[in-house]
Amino acid sequence: MDINVIIVEDEIHSGEMLRDMVADMRPDWNIQALLQSVSETVDWLNTNEHPQIMFLDIELADGNCFAIFDEVTVENTGIIFTTAYNEFALKAFDLNSIDYLLKPIKTDDLERAINKVDKAIEILGKVQEDEKRKEEEINYKELAKSIMQSKGGYRKRFLISKREAFFKLGVEDVAYFYFDARVTFAVGFDGRQHILNQSLDKLDEELNPEMFYRSNRQSIINIEAIEKFESYFSGKLVVKLVNGLNDKVMISRAKAAGFKEWMNQ
- The domain that holds 65 is classified in CATH as 3.40.50.2300
Please report the pLDDT score of residue 65 as a whole number: 84
List, for residues 116-155, the tens digit of each pLDDT value.
877 766 665 554 545 444 544 556 656 655 655 555 568 8
What's the pLDDT at 98?
Answer: 60
**Structural domain harbouring 116:** 4-150
174-180 and 219-222 as β-strands: parallel, antiparallel, unpaired?
A: antiparallel
Q: Which residues contact 5 (CB under 8 A, 6 or more apart)?
A: 22, 29, 30, 31, 32, 51, 52, 53, 54, 55
Write out the H or E segment, with its range, that includes residue 68.
helix 67-71
The pLDDT, as a whole number, for residue 165 is: 82
Whole-number Cα distances in Å, 179 to 78, 183, 210: 31, 6, 21
In the listed set 113, 132, 150, which residue is the last one of a domain according to the structure? 150
State how far the Cα of 219 lies from the Cα of 59, in Å rounded to an integer: 19
Does residue 38 sit in the same domain as residue 135? Answer: yes
- The predicted pLDDT at position 88 comes to 42
User: Given this model, what pLDDT does residue 213 score?
Assistant: 95
Report the pLDDT value the prediction gives residue 194, as an integer from 0 to 100: 93
Answer with the one of 150, 183, 200 that is the final residue of a domain. Answer: 150
Query: Does one domain contain both 109 and 176?
Result: no
Let me know whether 166 and 135 are in one domain: no
Residue 177 and residue 113 in one domain: no
| pLDDT confidence of residue 115 | 84
Q: Which of 79, 121, 123, 125 is nearest to 99 (CA)?
A: 79
Spans in the chain with pLDDT lower than 70:
1, 84-98, 120-153, 247
**What integer pLDDT is reported at residue 212 of this predicted model?**
95
Tally of domains in the chain: 2
- 142 and 191 housed in the same domain: no
